[in-house]
Structure 1
Amino acid sequence: MSDEKVVKFGGRKKKKKYLPFLYAAFALIIVGIFMYQVYKINYSPVKTEIALEKTVSNSVSTSAFVVRDETPIKANVTGTLVPLVEDGKRVANGDDVAVVFDSENAARNYNELKKVKEDIAYYSSLQNKVGVQTNDVETLDNRIYSACDDLVSAINTGEVDNYSEKESTLRDAITSRQLSTGTVIDPTQKLSELNTRLSELQKNEGGYTKIQANNPGYYISTVDGYENAVSYTGVLNLTTDKIDALIDGSTLPNADNSSYMGKLVDAFNWYILCVIDYKDAASLKVGGKITVEFTGTTAEPLSADVVKINDAADGRTSIILKCNLMNKKYAVLRKNPVKLIFNTYTGYQVNNKAVREINGQKGVYVLNGNIVKFKKINIVYSDSEYSICSVPDGESGYIKQYDEIIVEGTDLYDGKILD
């Protein structure tokens, strides 16, 4: 019998067994190469921040007490006061500043009567009124949007006294658009309703007593009992202890104000009294100026003159500030939290980690494409993290807005090319 040749297939089976591992290894290599390319594209040997302009201030928060040259208006009448003059408005001797009603209902009736008369005058002016036809609707719409924004802002900030004025402005803007785009407005029905209401109110119209200014000055419709707490002429003689007592409530207001129907402020100048840390006061000088923000109110910040800095005691001192602006928001200030802004600095914000000193010149490295450049800085303000840097007039070689400032990197020098 002849020998038969036997063929074994075990080797091929072993090769097939390892193929999945080979494919997996190949896939891992491909993924690795891809990840490396992504890393290489996104990798930067330095970390940068963009130079942007910023304004910062050196300030302190404290409490303040306001002193004015105030004279309460005495009247032999009691009841509900309705001002005829806006707070903070200048009046002459003998001007009618308010009316007093014997009840709140009579006062409400008076206010509504006044409003109805104004509405009648407004709608009467619309009769037979035709606007100029225009295709510039966008301008008219912008007036409406602006008036609407002003009304919403007054509501959000609680400016109750401005509601009526803002509402009227919005109404006028809407009416102007209607007339200018061909809309015919017939106020007949509205006028009929208003005249009917006017007749009803006039039937219930009660008597009132007029309050007149007994000397010229700024009229303020409210009294708080502090009108005579401080002698206006002696305000510069107040010590830190006395100012502290006014601010913290130790000095109590006059409890009986029933005979006063508002007050008049005679002098133009009024004073803001504050107590602050003596270290903060060290940056002030008599004759200098300081910005005061009345936090928690809608009063605009104002610039005040520093007229007195008292001697420090127990690490604290008092300062007396003078200003002469007056409006209805300043008129009602008395005891308020304030923010005193000593200095304001504007420049480019630079991370302190980026600051270098080369040959006695402070500066930073910036990235221009892939080239490192050294640029000078002029630090005007600095804290623990950032500095504010200005550019001296007529100088070159300083940082500018949108420069890429290098805040992290190694072996940096001017002219270095980054891979």
Structure 2
Amino acid sequence: MLKKILKFFAFLIVAVVLFYFGYQLVRLVNPSYSVETAVLFKDVDSVSCIGIAIRDEKVINNEVSGILKYRVTDGEKVAADSILADIYPNKTSARNAQSSEILKRKLNSFLLASGNMDSEVLSLNTTSNNIYRQAEVLSEILSMRNYSELETESLKLFEYLSVFIRGSSDSVDFGPKIWELEGKIESLESSEYEPSGVITAPGGGYFISHTDGFEGIFNSESIDEITDFDIEKILKINAPAIDYNSCKLVSHYSWFFAAMTDIKNKDRFYVGQKLDLDFKYGPVKSLPVTIYDVIVSQDGEKLLILFSCDYLNSDITALRIEEADISFRRYKGIKVMRSSLRVIDGEVGVFVKYDNKVKFKKIKTTYETDEYVLVESSKNEDYLKLYDEIIVQGKDIYVGKSLG
């Protein structure tokens, strides 16, 4: 009888132990709560718009007999009467001229790498950094399919690589390569590739190698006469068609962006207000702008905002009809969903997992939306900080509860 009782108690003890470990395993695999790590999040208070870039532009007709080879690049500032392009009589002469220019740059790279080994330009660290940066430039050019600058930027990478190779080893001899390039250049120069004419700038400005058909529709002189009807009409036109048979000059670095947005945002805008335009597509990401004028549409349903901008480069000159976000302010902080917020003793905060127990931490809100708030990270242990584990869901959660 005693033996049976002992056997029963032994079985009971084993069952209790198995149940305990099974329960802990279930809690571990399928806990009754879920957490999210507090990480930094960035947000922008903005409204969307669509508009058109307005610049003072003068079209230059390139319809000449021959092949054009530009001496200047997009966005480059040129003076009146300066040479913009050479005219070659045929493709062969233009190709020979281009080849000669590339070979001379390569030759110069090898000559630079072969001499002046003690100069600062041959610092391996500096050159290595230049290589990485130039590789990033080429990667961006390829991703944006901006092939007009590919050749020039590829040559820059070649120059950095030549310097790095020579600087990293004394045994490298560029002599044979230099003689080879000199021979090719001499051979090309013996052929006829002199330009038969040139195209000059009719005035000063910033050069652009193409047109899009929107030049002259609006300019700075007509900016005060623009109506919402004018802009709406332009926005209904098909996307600009790039034409490389003509080039143009932008006469001034200041330009305008005329944008349509919802009337409900009217009270947020005023003349002289400084904001950012964040473009949704293309290489131009964000530009600082100033509001020149705010106009309510004739039907009272939309808002026409005229922005002025004093920045200009080759990417900016490619802007025409664009979608953008008008950014009022940028915020960053820990993102906390409103469903995770708790109020204890009048203080707003969240439950966090701390040392396997529930702890309440207060928050300092910097930005709010209907769905979430952004919270300032604090060094004070009573407040939420980066990498805390926020309890976002759970049953019967309270301060001090053991989470196992």
When normalised by structure 1's length, the TM-score is 0.78
Structure 1 contact 366–375 (Cα < 8 Å) conserved: no
Does residue 371 of structure 2 align to residue 418 of structure 1? no
Q: Which amino acid in the other structure matches residue 97 of structure 1?
A: L
* SS of structure 2 residue aligned to 1:148: helix
Does residue 287 of structure 2 align to residue 333 of structure 1? no
Runs of at least 4 residues off by over 6 Å: 24-30, 136-140, 250-253, 255-258
The two structures, once aligned, show a CA RMSD in angstroms of: 3.9
Q: Quote the residue 2:22 is aligned against.
A: 35
Cα gap change, 1:58 to 1:140, in 2 (>3 Å)? same
Q: Quote the residue 2:256 is aligned against.
A: 271
Q: Which amino acid in the other structure matches residue 416 of structure 1?
A: G
Q: Which amino acid in the other structure matches residue 327 of structure 2?
A: I
2-structure distance, mates of 1:342, 1:36: 53
Gap runs ≥5 in structure 1? 1-23
Cα gap change, 1:137 to 1:200, in 2 (>3 Å)? closer
**What's the CA shift string for 1:122-164, capped at 9, x where partnerless?**
33445566568xxx97776565445434433332332324433
**What's the CA shift string for 1:258-279, capped at 9, x where partnerless?**
6xx5222222310112212222
Q: Quote the residue 1:344 is aligned against.
A: 330
The partner residue of 2:350 within 356, 360, 364 is 364
Does residue 213 of structure 2 align to residue 213 of structure 1? no
Cα gap change, 1:244 to 1:198, in 2 (>3 Å)? farther
Percent identity over the alignment is 22
Spell out the pairing of 1:371-382 with structure 2 (5 A cutoff): 371-382=358-369
After TM superposition, the structure 1 stretch with the greater mean CA deviation from structure 2, 49-58 or 191-200, is 191-200
1-structure distance, mates of 2:240, 2:138: 38
2-structure distance, mates of 1:153, 1:199: 36
Cα gap change, 1:86 to 1:166, in 2 (>3 Å)? closer
Q: Quote the residue 2:393 is aligned against.
A: 408
Q: Quote the residue 1:111 is aligned against.
A: 98
**What's the CA shift string for 1:324-378, capped at 9, x where partnerless?**
1111111222223334334322111002111133455432233332242241332
**What's the CA shift string for 1:138-191, capped at 9, x where partnerless?**
776565445434433332332324433433343333333333322231333443
Does residue 166 of structure 2 align to residue 182 of structure 1? no
1-structure distance, mates of 2:244, 2:127: 49
Shift of 1:323: 0.5
Q: Which amino acid in the other structure matches residue 226 of structure 1?
A: F
Q: Which amino acid in the other structure matches residue 196 of structure 2?
A: Y
Shift of 1:108: 3.0
When normalised by structure 2's length, the TM-score is 0.81
Q: Quote the residue 2:7 is aligned against.
A: none
**What's the CA shift string for 1:180-218, capped at 9, x where partnerless?**
322231333443344335423551314332222232221
After TM superposition, the structure 1 stretch with the greater mean CA deviation from structure 2, 322-331 or 261-270, is 261-270
Shift of 1:27: 9.2
1-structure distance, mates of 2:190, 2:259: 51
2-structure distance, mates of 1:257, 1:169: 25
Q: Quote the residue 2:281 is aligned against.
A: 296
Q: Quote the residue 1:67 is aligned against.
A: 54
Q: Quote the residue 1:322 is aligned against.
A: 308
1-structure distance, mates of 2:266, 2:214: 27
In the alignment of these two chains, the number of paired residues is: 391
Q: Quote the residue 2:295 is aligned against.
A: 310
2-structure distance, mates of 1:73, 1:162: 21
1-structure distance, mates of 2:212, 2:330: 35
2-structure distance, mates of 1:306, 1:325: 15
Shift of 1:319: 1.5
Gap runs ≥5 in structure 2? 1-10
**What's the CA shift string for 1:27-69, capped at 9, x where partnerless?**
9887545312323556755433222110012334443211111
Q: Quote the residue 2:3 is aligned against.
A: none
* SS of structure 2 residue aligned to 1:310: strand
Cα gap change, 1:145 to 1:252, in 2 (>3 Å)? closer
Cα gap change, 1:272 to 1:103, in 2 (>3 Å)? farther
Cα gap change, 1:104 to 1:277, in 2 (>3 Å)? farther
Structure 1 contact 367–405 (Cα < 8 Å) conserved: yes
2-structure distance, mates of 1:279, 1:403: 39
1-structure distance, mates of 2:127, 2:206: 38
* SS of structure 1 residue aligned to 2:336: strand
After TM superposition, the structure 1 stretch with the greater mean CA deviation from structure 2, 263-272 or 56-65, is 56-65
Structure 1 contact 116–198 (Cα < 8 Å) conserved: no
1-structure distance, mates of 2:28, 2:284: 54
Cα gap change, 1:61 to 1:194, in 2 (>3 Å)? farther
Cα gap change, 1:222 to 1:279, in 2 (>3 Å)? same
2-structure distance, mates of 1:257, 1:41: 66
